[in-house]
């Protein structure tokens, strides 16, 4: 099979491929970019696999960077855009289920493709658009199937993260995981414990943000993978509830974590603990706390001005979307109007500063902070107008 209209991302890389081939080596586009092109999806990074060894690649180009030379990866910068080129390789015995003991460079494309995870990810494309399909990946793409290349147990023993990748792709692509592959995930789920949480987290979030999360969630649940994820040892109920939500669409990482902690009914302390166990950044943790507080407010019809203000526009939108997802009738425009109508969106919007307070005779220190906080709250609650004279009058009356 040949792709007639090659996306520009590949077109731009053709001179590189041609240089490698002119020197007598092979070069192919591989991995996600080939898969996504065939699915008519936008492509992210263009990866190139070659029979040339890293040192040979470096001799062919003027500007290269050793981005991962011990794995055979060299970045070629000759044409402005950087292209990662990796030498065909096989990986011998994996002792720790996550990285090969050693990488062996080989000259054969077939050797390289057969150690890849799924048939849809083991397609290669020549620079002229010709597709090399050694494992019926095209058929699986057509039928919407995630199937391990060769023996699934071997693939998951090589890298246990691939089990999470399977459920992630199922949900991103709305694909079904093939039976033997599913069975191997179920019998190897425990190996996930060997994998760094950070890597699991990336796949987990991608799974929940996919276009068909119920697809991935079903296998995540039925294979028992969830048991080996932080805080989800007893997560069956949660996953079941998530899966049953109609139109489950989560637009951001914060939405993912907020719906999780809401359904798990975690308090503030437990929420922090849960999110930290998943190695989330403080930024995500703070935003999740805000969105979750607002979500509770919306669900209980108790979203007041102060909660709107503390939540902020972005996390408030997330909370509103989630409330709708959870079955609450939400008037989104009324909610946004409530937010927009706030006299101030941040403390800095107050028409009075510490300087003004000092000029009015307030001593700097805790008293001043307390007074400013009081003013902030009153302005947000519309008990004071955010206008210098009025605020100063309040200061004079309350200092
Ligand atoms: N655990 C893994 C990770 C990657 N790969 C191979 O390396 C390619 C590139 O990996 P990566 O960029 O992580 O995934 P993509 O399939 O490209 O998906 P994405 O669009 O998310 O980048 C994959 O297609 C697959 O052939 C693999 O076999 N096993
Ligand atoms: Mg990729």
Question: 103 falls in which pLDDT band (50, 70, 90)?
Answer: confident
Of residues 127, 157, 152, 151, the one with CA closest to residue 28 = 127
Q: Is the CB of 162 under 6 A from ligand 1?
A: yes
128/219 same-domain check: no
153/272 same-domain check: no
Last residue of a domain, one of 209, 228, 248: 248
182/279 same-domain check: no
Q: Is the CB of 158 under 6 A from ligand 1?
A: no
Quote the pLDDT of residue 188. 98
Q: Is the CB of 99 under 6 A from ligand 1?
A: no
Question: 92 falls in which pLDDT band (50, 70, 90)?
Answer: low
Of residues 156, 155, 108, the one with CA closest to residue 134 = 108
* Proximal ligand: closest to the CA of 32: 1
Quote the pLDDT of residue 99. 62
84/32 same-domain check: yes
pLDDT of 82 over the 80 cut:
yes
Residue 262 belongs to domain with CATH number: 1.20.58
Binding annotation? 32, 35, 45, 47, 116, 159, 162, 165, 168
149/41 same-domain check: no
Last residue of a domain, one of 232, 248, 264: 248
Would you say 47 and 57 are in contact if contact means Cβ atoms under 8 Å apart? no
Of residues 275, 314, 270, 273, the one with CA closest to residue 294 = 314
Which tens digit of pLDDT belongs to each residue from 191-242? 999 999 999 999 999 999 999 999 999 999 999 999 999 999 999 999 999 9
What is the mean pLDDT of the segment spanning 131-143? 98
Question: 94 falls in which pLDDT band (50, 70, 90)?
Answer: low
179/152 same-domain check: yes
Quote the pLDDT of residue 331. 94
Nearest CA, atom 7, ligand 1: 31
Q: Which of 29, 31, 115 to mutate to test the pocket of ligand 1 (most atoms within 8 A of CB)?
A: 31
Nearest CA, atom 14, ligand 1: 32
Domain extent at residue 373:
349-398
pLDDT of 93 over the 60 cut:
no
Question: 320 falls in which pLDDT band (50, 70, 90)?
Answer: very high
pLDDT of 79 over the 90 cut:
no
Residue 136 belongs to domain with CATH number: 3.30.460.10
ipTM attached to this prediction = 0.99
Backbone torsions φ then ψ of 108, nearest 5 degrees: -105, 125
133/55 same-domain check: yes
Of residues 130, 142, 134, 42, the one with CA closest to residue 88 = 134
What percent of the chain is predicted at pLDDT more than 70?
97
Q: Is the CB of 164 under 6 A from ligand 1?
A: no
- Cα separation of 131 and 30, whole Å? 10
- Cα separation of 46 and 35, whole Å? 11
Neighbouring C-beta atoms of residue 167, cutoff 10 Å: 29
178/284 same-domain check: no
Question: 95 falls in which pLDDT band (50, 70, 90)?
Answer: low
62/182 same-domain check: no
Which tens digit of pLDDT belongs to each residue from 253-282? 999 999 999 999 999 999 999 999 999 999
- As a dihedral over the C-alpha atoms of residue 24, residue 30, residue 35, residue 38, rounded to 10 degrees, the angle is -10
- Into how many domains does the chain fold? 4
Nearest CA, atom 19, ligand 1: 32
130/14 same-domain check: yes
Give the list of residues 6+ apart from residue 226 with CB closer than 8 angstroms, or none: 220, 232, 235, 236, 239
Neighbours of ion ligand 2 (CB under 5 A): 32
Would you say 350 and 391 are in contact if contact means Cβ atoms under 8 Å apart? yes
Q: In what order do the strands lie in the sheet with 27-30?
A: 64-68, 73-76, 83-87, 47-50, 27-30, 124-125, 131-132
Give the list of residues 6+ apart from residue 156 with CB closer than 8 angstroms, or none: 148, 162, 163, 184, 185, 188, 191
pLDDT of 290 over the 70 cut:
yes
The label of the residue with tokens 């044409």 reads: 79
What's the 140 CA to ligand 1 centre distance in angstroms?
Answer: 16
Instruction: State if pTM tops 0.90.
Output: yes
Residue 366 belongs to domain with CATH number: 1.10.246
Would you say 113 and 91 are in contact if contact means Cβ atoms under 8 Å apart? no
What's the 155 CA to ligand 2 centre distance in angstroms?
Answer: 18
Last residue of a domain, one of 196, 215, 248: 248
Neighbouring C-beta atoms of residue 338, cutoff 10 Å: 15
Quote the pLDDT of residue 96. 66
Which tens digit of pLDDT belongs to each residue from 2-38? 998 899 999 999 999 999 999 999 999 999 999 999 9
51/150 same-domain check: no
Residue 168 belongs to domain with CATH number: 1.10.110.30
Q: Is the CB of 64 under 6 A from ligand 1?
A: no
83/171 same-domain check: no
- Cβ-based burial of 373 (10 A; exposed 0-12, middle 13-18, buried ≥19): exposed
How much is the mean pLDDT over the chain? 95
């Amino acid at each position: 099979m040949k792709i007639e209209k090659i996306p520009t991302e590949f077109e731009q890389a053709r001179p590189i491929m041609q240089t490698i081939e002119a020197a007598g080596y092979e070069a192919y586009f591989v991995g996600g970019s080939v898969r996504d092109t065939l699915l008519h999806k936008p492509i992210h990074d263009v990866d190139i696999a070659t029979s040339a060894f890293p040192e040979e690649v470096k001799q062919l180009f003027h500007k290269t960077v050793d981005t991962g030379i011990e794995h055979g990866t060299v970045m070629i910068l000759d044409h402005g855009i950087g292209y990662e080129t990796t030498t065909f390789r096989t990986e011998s015995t994996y002792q720790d289920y996550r990285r090969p003991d050693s990488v062996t460079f080989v000259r054969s494309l077939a050797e390289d493709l057969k150690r890849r995870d799924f048939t849809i990810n083991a397609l290669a494309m020549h620079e002229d658009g010709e597709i090399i399909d050694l494992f019926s990946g095209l058929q699986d793409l057509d039928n919407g199937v995630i199937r391990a290349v060769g023996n699934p147990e071997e693939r998951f023993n090589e890298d246990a993260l691939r089990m999470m990748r399977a459920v992630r792709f199922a949900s991103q692509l709305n694909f079904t995981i093939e039976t033997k592959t599913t069975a191997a995930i179920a019998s190897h789920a425990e190996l996930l414990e060997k994998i760094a949480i950070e890597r699991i987290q990336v796949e987990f979030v991608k799974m929940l943000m996919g276009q068909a999360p119920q697809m991935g969630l079903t296998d995540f649940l039925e294979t028992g993978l969830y048991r080996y994820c932080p805080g989800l040892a007893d997560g069956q109920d949660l996953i079941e509830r998530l899966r049953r939500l109609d139109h489950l669409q989560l637009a951001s990482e914060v939405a993912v974590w907020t719906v999780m902690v809401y359904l798990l009914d975690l308090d503030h302390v437990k929420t922090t603990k849960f999110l930290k166990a998943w190695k989330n950044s403080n930024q995500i943790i703070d935003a999740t706390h805000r969105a979750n507080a607002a979500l509770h407010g919306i669900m209980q019809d108790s979203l007041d001005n102060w909660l709107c203000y503390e939540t902020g526009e972005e996390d408030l939108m997330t909370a509103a979307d989630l409330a709708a997802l959870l079955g609450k009738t939400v008037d989104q425009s009324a909610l946004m109007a409530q937010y927009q109508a706030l006299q101030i969106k941040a403390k800095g919007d107050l028409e009075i500063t510490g300087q003004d307070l000092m000029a009015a005779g307030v001593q700097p220190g805790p008293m001043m902070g307390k007074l400013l906080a009081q003013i902030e709250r009153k302005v947000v609650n519309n008990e004071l107008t955010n206008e210098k004279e009025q605020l100063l009058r309040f200061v004079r009356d309350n200092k």
